[in-house]
Structure 1
Amino acid sequence: MASIPLFPLGNAVFPAGVLRLRIFEVRYLNLIERCVADDTPFGVVPLLAGSEIRKPEGGEVLAQAGTLVRIEEKTTPMPGLLQITCSATQRFRLRDSEQGQYGLWHGTADLLDDDPVLPVPKRLQACANALGALIAQLQRSGTPAHLMPVIPPFRLDECGWVADRWAELLPLPMEEKAALLLSSDPLHRLALIHTALGDRQLLPPDDAEQDPLAGN
Protein backbone atom coordinates (compact mmCIF):
# COMPACT_ATOMS: atom_id res chain seq x y z
CA MET A 1 0.00 0.00 0.00
CA ALA A 2 1.34 3.44 -0.94
CA SER A 3 0.43 7.04 -0.12
CA ILE A 4 0.56 9.18 -3.25
CA PRO A 5 -0.40 12.64 -4.50
CA LEU A 6 -3.18 12.46 -7.06
CA PHE A 7 -3.89 14.31 -10.29
CA PRO A 8 -7.55 13.90 -11.37
CA LEU A 9 -7.80 13.94 -15.14
CA GLY A 10 -10.55 13.77 -17.75
CA ASN A 11 -8.91 10.74 -19.32
CA ALA A 12 -7.00 7.66 -18.24
CA VAL A 13 -3.39 6.76 -18.91
CA PHE A 14 -2.17 3.17 -18.90
CA PRO A 15 1.27 1.61 -18.32
CA ALA A 16 3.76 2.37 -21.13
CA GLY A 17 1.62 5.34 -22.15
CA VAL A 18 2.72 8.94 -22.51
CA LEU A 19 1.05 11.87 -20.77
CA ARG A 20 1.65 15.50 -21.69
CA LEU A 21 0.27 18.21 -19.43
CA ARG A 22 0.22 21.98 -19.25
CA ILE A 23 0.26 22.97 -15.58
CA PHE A 24 -0.83 26.38 -14.33
CA GLU A 25 -2.81 25.81 -11.13
CA VAL A 26 -0.72 26.56 -8.04
CA ARG A 27 -1.61 23.25 -6.37
CA TYR A 28 -0.21 21.29 -9.31
CA LEU A 29 2.77 23.57 -9.91
CA ASN A 30 3.85 22.79 -6.35
CA LEU A 31 3.15 19.09 -6.82
CA ILE A 32 5.26 18.87 -9.97
CA GLU A 33 8.15 20.79 -8.44
CA ARG A 34 8.17 18.43 -5.44
CA CYS A 35 8.05 15.34 -7.63
CA VAL A 36 10.94 16.62 -9.75
CA ALA A 37 13.00 17.54 -6.68
CA ASP A 38 12.38 14.19 -4.97
CA ASP A 39 12.33 12.10 -8.17
CA THR A 40 9.00 10.59 -7.18
CA PRO A 41 5.91 9.69 -9.22
CA PHE A 42 2.36 10.94 -8.83
CA GLY A 43 -0.92 9.20 -9.53
CA VAL A 44 -3.25 10.04 -12.40
CA VAL A 45 -6.88 9.16 -11.64
CA PRO A 46 -9.81 9.42 -14.09
CA LEU A 47 -12.49 11.91 -13.12
CA LEU A 48 -15.98 10.43 -12.97
CA ALA A 49 -17.52 13.86 -12.34
CA GLY A 50 -16.36 17.42 -11.89
CA SER A 51 -13.69 19.46 -13.61
CA GLU A 52 -9.92 19.16 -13.93
CA ILE A 53 -9.70 22.85 -13.06
CA ARG A 54 -10.63 23.67 -9.49
CA LYS A 55 -13.99 25.39 -9.08
CA PRO A 56 -15.56 26.89 -5.95
CA GLU A 57 -18.40 24.36 -5.97
CA GLY A 58 -16.01 21.40 -6.13
CA GLY A 59 -17.86 18.28 -7.20
CA GLU A 60 -14.83 16.20 -8.21
CA VAL A 61 -15.50 12.45 -8.07
CA LEU A 62 -12.44 10.26 -8.51
CA ALA A 63 -12.41 6.74 -9.94
CA GLN A 64 -11.07 3.99 -7.73
CA ALA A 65 -8.28 3.25 -10.20
CA GLY A 66 -5.28 5.07 -11.57
CA THR A 67 -1.73 4.90 -12.84
CA LEU A 68 1.58 6.12 -11.49
CA VAL A 69 3.49 8.42 -13.83
CA ARG A 70 7.04 9.70 -13.75
CA ILE A 71 8.08 13.10 -15.08
CA GLU A 72 10.52 12.67 -17.95
CA GLU A 73 10.72 16.26 -19.20
CA LYS A 74 9.77 19.65 -17.80
CA THR A 75 9.86 23.05 -19.47
CA THR A 76 8.75 26.51 -18.33
CA PRO A 77 7.47 28.48 -21.36
CA MET A 78 6.56 31.40 -19.11
CA PRO A 79 6.28 32.16 -15.39
CA GLY A 80 3.45 30.22 -13.80
CA LEU A 81 3.23 27.66 -16.60
CA LEU A 82 4.87 24.24 -16.80
CA GLN A 83 4.78 21.78 -19.66
CA ILE A 84 5.62 18.24 -18.66
CA THR A 85 5.94 14.90 -20.41
CA CYS A 86 5.35 11.84 -18.24
CA SER A 87 5.71 8.11 -18.73
CA ALA A 88 3.08 5.86 -17.17
CA THR A 89 4.42 2.99 -15.09
CA GLN A 90 2.14 1.03 -12.76
CA ARG A 91 -1.60 0.70 -12.24
CA PHE A 92 -3.13 0.99 -8.79
CA ARG A 93 -6.42 0.49 -6.99
CA LEU A 94 -7.32 3.56 -4.95
CA ARG A 95 -8.36 2.65 -1.41
CA ASP A 96 -9.28 6.13 -0.26
CA SER A 97 -8.65 9.76 -1.13
CA GLU A 98 -9.00 13.17 0.46
CA GLN A 99 -8.60 16.72 -0.71
CA GLY A 100 -6.22 18.92 1.22
CA GLN A 101 -6.54 22.53 2.27
CA TYR A 102 -5.28 23.90 -1.05
CA GLY A 103 -7.25 21.52 -3.22
CA LEU A 104 -4.56 18.90 -3.82
CA TRP A 105 -5.75 15.31 -3.63
CA HIS A 106 -3.88 12.54 -1.82
CA GLY A 107 -4.77 8.92 -1.47
CA THR A 108 -3.65 5.48 -0.38
CA ALA A 109 -3.48 2.82 -3.04
CA ASP A 110 -2.63 -0.81 -3.68
CA LEU A 111 -0.18 -1.21 -6.54
CA LEU A 112 -1.28 -3.76 -9.14
CA ASP A 113 0.96 -6.31 -10.83
CA ASP A 114 2.25 -5.74 -14.33
CA ASP A 115 0.47 -7.56 -17.12
CA PRO A 116 1.71 -10.98 -18.18
CA VAL A 117 3.04 -10.83 -21.72
CA LEU A 118 0.39 -12.52 -23.89
CA PRO A 119 0.46 -12.62 -27.70
CA VAL A 120 -2.46 -11.19 -29.64
CA PRO A 121 -4.66 -14.11 -30.75
CA LYS A 122 -5.88 -14.38 -34.32
CA ARG A 123 -9.48 -13.49 -33.40
CA LEU A 124 -8.29 -10.13 -32.00
CA GLN A 125 -5.54 -9.39 -34.52
CA ALA A 126 -7.68 -6.72 -36.16
CA CYS A 127 -7.22 -4.54 -33.05
CA ALA A 128 -3.45 -4.60 -33.49
CA ASN A 129 -3.73 -4.08 -37.25
CA ALA A 130 -5.98 -1.05 -36.80
CA LEU A 131 -3.60 0.45 -34.22
CA GLY A 132 -0.61 -0.16 -36.46
CA ALA A 133 -2.44 1.53 -39.34
CA LEU A 134 -3.23 4.53 -37.15
CA ILE A 135 0.41 4.87 -36.06
CA ALA A 136 1.56 4.64 -39.68
CA GLN A 137 -1.00 7.26 -40.74
CA LEU A 138 0.19 9.68 -38.06
CA GLN A 139 3.79 9.15 -39.10
CA ARG A 140 3.00 9.66 -42.80
CA SER A 141 1.13 12.86 -42.00
CA GLY A 142 4.26 14.27 -40.38
CA THR A 143 3.13 14.24 -36.75
CA PRO A 144 6.25 15.19 -34.75
CA ALA A 145 7.56 12.45 -32.47
CA HIS A 146 7.03 14.62 -29.40
CA LEU A 147 3.32 14.96 -30.24
CA MET A 148 2.59 11.32 -31.07
CA PRO A 149 -0.14 9.90 -28.79
CA VAL A 150 1.56 6.50 -28.95
CA ILE A 151 5.30 6.18 -28.40
CA PRO A 152 7.80 3.41 -29.19
CA PRO A 153 8.51 0.66 -28.67
CA PHE A 154 5.38 -0.34 -30.58
CA ARG A 155 4.50 -3.70 -29.02
CA LEU A 156 1.77 -4.55 -31.49
CA ASP A 157 2.12 -8.26 -30.74
CA GLU A 158 1.17 -7.91 -27.04
CA CYS A 159 -2.45 -8.03 -25.83
CA GLY A 160 -1.98 -5.66 -22.92
CA TRP A 161 -0.07 -3.00 -24.85
CA VAL A 162 -2.56 -2.91 -27.73
CA ALA A 163 -5.56 -2.86 -25.39
CA ASP A 164 -4.07 -0.09 -23.26
CA ARG A 165 -3.26 2.17 -26.19
CA TRP A 166 -6.79 1.89 -27.54
CA ALA A 167 -8.20 2.45 -24.04
CA GLU A 168 -6.36 5.77 -23.96
CA LEU A 169 -7.37 6.79 -27.49
CA LEU A 170 -11.04 5.80 -27.60
CA PRO A 171 -13.70 8.12 -26.13
CA LEU A 172 -14.96 5.51 -23.69
CA PRO A 173 -16.95 6.52 -20.59
CA MET A 174 -14.66 7.13 -17.63
CA GLU A 175 -16.32 4.30 -15.71
CA GLU A 176 -15.30 1.89 -18.47
CA LYS A 177 -11.74 3.20 -18.55
CA ALA A 178 -11.49 2.79 -14.78
CA ALA A 179 -12.76 -0.80 -15.06
CA LEU A 180 -10.17 -1.52 -17.75
CA LEU A 181 -7.46 -0.13 -15.47
CA LEU A 182 -8.48 -2.56 -12.75
CA SER A 183 -8.64 -5.59 -15.03
CA SER A 184 -5.74 -7.98 -14.50
CA ASP A 185 -6.48 -9.97 -17.67
CA PRO A 186 -4.98 -8.32 -20.78
CA LEU A 187 -6.72 -10.80 -23.08
CA HIS A 188 -10.11 -9.86 -21.67
CA ARG A 189 -9.26 -6.15 -21.95
CA LEU A 190 -8.39 -6.59 -25.60
CA ALA A 191 -11.64 -8.48 -26.24
CA LEU A 192 -13.57 -5.56 -24.74
CA ILE A 193 -11.59 -3.14 -26.90
CA HIS A 194 -12.38 -5.26 -29.96
CA THR A 195 -16.08 -4.86 -29.21
CA ALA A 196 -15.68 -1.10 -28.70
CA LEU A 197 -13.84 -0.74 -32.01
CA GLY A 198 -16.51 -2.79 -33.78
CA ASP A 199 -19.30 -0.69 -32.28
CA ARG A 200 -17.58 2.41 -33.68
CA GLN A 201 -17.04 0.79 -37.09
CA LEU A 202 -13.28 1.04 -36.72
CA LEU A 203 -12.74 -2.60 -37.75
CA PRO A 204 -13.33 -4.25 -41.14
CA PRO A 205 -16.85 -5.75 -41.28
CA ASP A 206 -15.65 -9.36 -41.18
CA ASP A 207 -13.53 -8.70 -38.09
CA ALA A 208 -16.24 -6.69 -36.34
CA GLU A 209 -18.69 -9.56 -36.70
CA GLN A 210 -16.44 -12.11 -35.01
CA ASP A 211 -17.04 -13.05 -31.40
CA PRO A 212 -13.98 -11.73 -29.55
CA LEU A 213 -14.59 -14.11 -26.64
CA ALA A 214 -14.61 -17.19 -28.85
CA GLY A 215 -11.58 -19.43 -29.32
CA ASN A 216 -8.71 -18.76 -31.71
Structure 2
Amino acid sequence: MSTELPLFPLQTVLFPGGRLNLKVFEARYLDMVGDCLRQQRPFGVVCLQAGGEMQRKDQDGNPAPVRFHDIGVQAHIDEVDAEQAGILHIRCSGRERFALQNPRRQPDGLWLADVALLPADELALPPDEMDDTVQSLREAIEAMRREGAEPFIPPYRFSDAGWVANRWCEILPISLAAKQKLMALDDPLARLKLVDEFLRDQGVIGG
Protein backbone atom coordinates (compact mmCIF):
# COMPACT_ATOMS: atom_id res chain seq x y z
CA MET A 1 0.00 0.00 0.00
CA SER A 2 1.22 3.51 -0.77
CA THR A 3 0.05 6.96 0.26
CA GLU A 4 0.80 10.47 -0.97
CA LEU A 5 3.10 12.51 1.24
CA PRO A 6 4.49 16.05 0.97
CA LEU A 7 8.27 16.09 1.15
CA PHE A 8 10.76 18.39 2.88
CA PRO A 9 14.22 17.75 1.36
CA LEU A 10 16.89 18.73 3.90
CA GLN A 11 20.62 18.52 4.39
CA THR A 12 20.07 16.19 7.31
CA VAL A 13 19.02 12.60 7.99
CA LEU A 14 16.04 12.09 10.26
CA PHE A 15 15.92 8.79 12.14
CA PRO A 16 12.84 7.07 13.57
CA GLY A 17 12.43 8.33 17.12
CA GLY A 18 14.62 11.35 16.37
CA ARG A 19 14.00 15.02 17.07
CA LEU A 20 13.87 17.65 14.33
CA ASN A 21 13.58 21.41 14.80
CA LEU A 22 12.81 23.54 11.75
CA LYS A 23 12.44 27.23 10.98
CA VAL A 24 9.86 27.48 8.21
CA PHE A 25 9.40 30.65 6.16
CA GLU A 26 9.03 29.68 2.49
CA ALA A 27 5.41 29.88 1.32
CA ARG A 28 5.32 26.30 0.03
CA TYR A 29 6.37 24.93 3.43
CA LEU A 30 4.16 27.28 5.43
CA ASP A 31 1.23 25.95 3.40
CA MET A 32 2.47 22.38 3.88
CA VAL A 33 2.68 22.78 7.65
CA GLY A 34 -0.81 24.28 7.74
CA ASP A 35 -2.21 21.38 5.71
CA CYS A 36 -0.43 18.81 7.90
CA LEU A 37 -1.82 20.40 11.07
CA ARG A 38 -5.37 20.61 9.71
CA GLN A 39 -5.33 17.04 8.42
CA GLN A 40 -3.26 15.71 11.35
CA ARG A 41 -0.85 13.98 9.02
CA PRO A 42 2.95 13.85 8.79
CA PHE A 43 5.28 15.06 6.08
CA GLY A 44 8.31 13.25 4.71
CA VAL A 45 11.93 14.22 5.37
CA VAL A 46 14.41 13.14 2.70
CA CYS A 47 18.15 13.83 2.65
CA LEU A 48 19.40 15.96 -0.23
CA GLN A 49 21.99 14.61 -2.62
CA ALA A 50 22.06 17.69 -4.85
CA GLY A 51 20.45 21.11 -4.71
CA GLY A 52 19.64 23.31 -1.75
CA GLU A 53 16.99 23.45 0.93
CA MET A 54 15.69 26.79 -0.36
CA GLN A 55 14.02 27.02 -3.74
CA ARG A 56 16.33 28.44 -6.40
CA LYS A 57 15.98 29.02 -10.11
CA ASP A 58 18.46 28.56 -12.92
CA GLN A 59 19.46 31.26 -15.43
CA ASP A 60 16.36 30.47 -17.52
CA GLY A 61 14.03 30.97 -14.57
CA ASN A 62 13.28 27.27 -14.11
CA PRO A 63 13.52 25.53 -10.73
CA ALA A 64 17.10 24.44 -10.08
CA PRO A 65 17.65 20.66 -10.10
CA VAL A 66 17.13 18.88 -6.80
CA ARG A 67 18.01 15.28 -6.08
CA PHE A 68 17.39 13.36 -2.86
CA HIS A 69 17.65 9.85 -1.48
CA ASP A 70 14.77 7.46 -2.07
CA ILE A 71 14.34 6.39 1.57
CA GLY A 72 13.14 8.90 4.12
CA VAL A 73 11.33 9.18 7.44
CA GLN A 74 7.91 10.54 8.30
CA ALA A 75 8.01 13.63 10.54
CA HIS A 76 5.13 14.24 12.96
CA ILE A 77 4.60 17.85 14.04
CA ASP A 78 4.60 18.01 17.85
CA GLU A 79 4.73 21.77 18.52
CA VAL A 80 4.45 24.98 16.53
CA ASP A 81 5.52 28.51 17.54
CA ALA A 82 4.60 31.55 15.46
CA GLU A 83 6.50 34.37 17.17
CA GLN A 84 6.87 36.39 13.95
CA ALA A 85 4.50 36.85 11.05
CA GLY A 86 5.40 34.50 8.21
CA ILE A 87 7.83 32.42 10.26
CA LEU A 88 7.07 29.15 12.04
CA HIS A 89 9.31 27.24 14.42
CA ILE A 90 8.21 23.62 14.44
CA ARG A 91 9.37 20.70 16.54
CA CYS A 92 8.91 17.28 15.01
CA SER A 93 9.58 13.66 15.84
CA GLY A 94 10.66 10.98 13.40
CA ARG A 95 8.25 8.12 12.84
CA GLU A 96 8.17 5.39 10.16
CA ARG A 97 10.67 5.02 7.34
CA PHE A 98 9.36 5.01 3.79
CA ALA A 99 10.46 4.31 0.22
CA LEU A 100 9.72 6.92 -2.41
CA GLN A 101 7.61 6.16 -5.45
CA ASN A 102 7.01 8.66 -8.24
CA PRO A 103 8.28 11.92 -6.68
CA ARG A 104 6.92 15.00 -8.45
CA ARG A 105 7.24 18.75 -8.06
CA GLN A 106 4.23 21.05 -7.89
CA PRO A 107 4.23 24.46 -9.61
CA ASP A 108 4.85 26.13 -6.22
CA GLY A 109 8.00 24.02 -5.77
CA LEU A 110 6.64 21.62 -3.17
CA TRP A 111 7.62 18.00 -3.72
CA LEU A 112 5.03 15.23 -3.40
CA ALA A 113 5.54 11.48 -3.66
CA ASP A 114 3.70 8.25 -3.29
CA VAL A 115 5.43 6.42 -0.46
CA ALA A 116 5.44 2.86 0.79
CA LEU A 117 6.01 2.54 4.52
CA LEU A 118 8.87 0.26 5.55
CA PRO A 119 8.71 -2.13 8.52
CA ALA A 120 9.76 -0.70 11.86
CA ASP A 121 12.85 -2.15 13.52
CA GLU A 122 12.17 -5.40 15.30
CA LEU A 123 12.84 -5.15 19.01
CA ALA A 124 16.22 -6.73 19.72
CA LEU A 125 18.42 -6.62 22.80
CA PRO A 126 21.93 -5.22 22.28
CA PRO A 127 24.41 -8.13 22.43
CA ASP A 128 26.52 -8.40 25.59
CA GLU A 129 29.67 -7.59 23.62
CA MET A 130 28.17 -4.17 22.84
CA ASP A 131 27.52 -3.22 26.47
CA ASP A 132 30.26 -0.58 26.24
CA THR A 133 28.45 1.07 23.34
CA VAL A 134 25.23 1.22 25.34
CA GLN A 135 26.97 2.52 28.44
CA SER A 136 28.86 5.15 26.45
CA LEU A 137 25.55 6.45 25.10
CA ARG A 138 24.23 6.73 28.66
CA GLU A 139 27.31 8.73 29.60
CA ALA A 140 27.03 10.96 26.54
CA ILE A 141 23.40 11.71 27.36
CA GLU A 142 24.26 12.56 30.98
CA ALA A 143 27.07 14.85 29.83
CA MET A 144 24.74 16.72 27.49
CA ARG A 145 22.05 16.99 30.16
CA ARG A 146 24.54 18.49 32.60
CA GLU A 147 25.08 21.21 30.01
CA GLY A 148 21.34 21.88 29.88
CA ALA A 149 20.57 19.94 26.70
CA GLU A 150 17.90 17.26 26.37
CA PRO A 151 19.35 15.53 23.32
CA PHE A 152 16.73 12.90 22.61
CA ILE A 153 13.01 12.35 22.94
CA PRO A 154 12.21 10.28 26.04
CA PRO A 155 11.67 7.56 27.01
CA TYR A 156 15.22 6.31 26.62
CA ARG A 157 15.27 2.68 25.49
CA PHE A 158 18.73 1.32 26.20
CA SER A 159 17.47 -2.27 25.87
CA ASP A 160 16.46 -1.65 22.23
CA ALA A 161 19.35 -2.13 19.77
CA GLY A 162 17.66 -0.07 17.05
CA TRP A 163 17.01 2.86 19.38
CA VAL A 164 20.60 2.84 20.67
CA ALA A 165 21.99 2.66 17.14
CA ASN A 166 19.76 5.49 15.89
CA ARG A 167 20.69 7.82 18.73
CA TRP A 168 24.39 7.20 18.17
CA CYS A 169 23.95 7.82 14.43
CA GLU A 170 22.43 11.22 15.17
CA ILE A 171 25.43 12.47 17.15
CA LEU A 172 28.37 10.74 15.48
CA PRO A 173 30.67 12.95 13.33
CA ILE A 174 30.06 11.02 10.13
CA SER A 175 28.95 12.12 6.66
CA LEU A 176 25.31 12.51 5.65
CA ALA A 177 25.82 9.70 3.13
CA ALA A 178 26.95 7.38 5.94
CA LYS A 179 24.03 8.40 8.15
CA GLN A 180 21.64 7.75 5.26
CA LYS A 181 23.03 4.26 4.68
CA LEU A 182 22.74 3.44 8.38
CA MET A 183 19.18 4.74 8.57
CA ALA A 184 18.21 2.69 5.51
CA LEU A 185 19.53 -0.57 7.00
CA ASP A 186 16.65 -2.91 7.80
CA ASP A 187 18.53 -4.87 10.47
CA PRO A 188 18.88 -2.92 13.75
CA LEU A 189 21.58 -5.27 15.05
CA ALA A 190 23.64 -4.75 11.89
CA ARG A 191 23.23 -0.98 12.34
CA LEU A 192 24.38 -1.18 15.96
CA LYS A 193 27.32 -3.39 15.00
CA LEU A 194 28.55 -0.80 12.49
CA VAL A 195 28.21 1.93 15.14
CA ASP A 196 30.10 -0.24 17.64
CA GLU A 197 32.93 -0.83 15.14
CA PHE A 198 33.19 2.90 14.43
CA LEU A 199 33.37 3.76 18.14
CA ARG A 200 36.10 1.17 18.69
CA ASP A 201 38.05 2.36 15.64
CA GLN A 202 37.90 5.92 16.98
CA GLY A 203 38.94 4.85 20.48
CA VAL A 204 35.69 6.05 22.06
CA ILE A 205 35.27 2.64 23.66
CA GLY A 206 37.79 -0.14 24.29
CA GLY A 207 38.95 -2.32 21.44
1:85 equivalenced with 2:87 (yes/no): no
Aligned to 1:154: 156
User: Equivalent residue for 1:31?
Assistant: 32
Tell me which amino acid in the other structure corresponds to 1:111.
L
How many residues align? The count is 201
* 2:93 counterpart SS class: strand
Deviations 1:58-105 (A, max 9, x none): 232110110111111111010010011111110111123122111111
Q: What code does the residue aligned with 1:82 have? A: L
Amino-acid identity (%): 35
1:42 matched to 2:48: no
AA aligned opposite 2:35: R
CA distance in 1, matches of 2:202, 2:109: 37
How does 1:17-166 map onto structure 2 within 5 Å? 17-57=18-58, 58-143=64-149, 148-166=150-168
* Partners of 1:196 and 1:95 in 2: CA distance: 33
Deviation at 1:170, TM superposition (A): 2.2
**In the alignment, which residue of structure 2 is the partner of 1:2?**
3
Q: Secondary structure at the match of 2:119?
A: coil
Structure 1: stretches of 5+ with no match in the other structure: 210-216
The residue type equivalent to 1:128 in the other structure is V
Q: Distance in 1 between matches of 2:121 and 2:114?
A: 22
Tell me the TM-score normalised to structure 1 length. Answer: 0.87
Residue number in structure 1 paired with 2:61: none
Q: Which runs of 4+ in 1 moved over 4 A?
A: none
> Counterpart of 1:127 in structure 2: which amino acid?
T
- RMSD of Structure 2 on Structure 1 (CA): 1.5
SS at match of 1:40: coil
- Distance of aligned partners of 1:46 and 1:199 in 2 relative to their CA distance in 1, 3 Å threshold: farther
- Unmatched runs of 5 consecutive residues or more in structure 2: 59-63
TM-score scaled to structure 2, two decimals?
0.91
User: SS in structure 1 opposite 2:109?
Assistant: coil
Instruction: Tell me, yes or no, if the aligned pair for 1:93 and 1:182 is still in contact at 8 Å.
Output: no
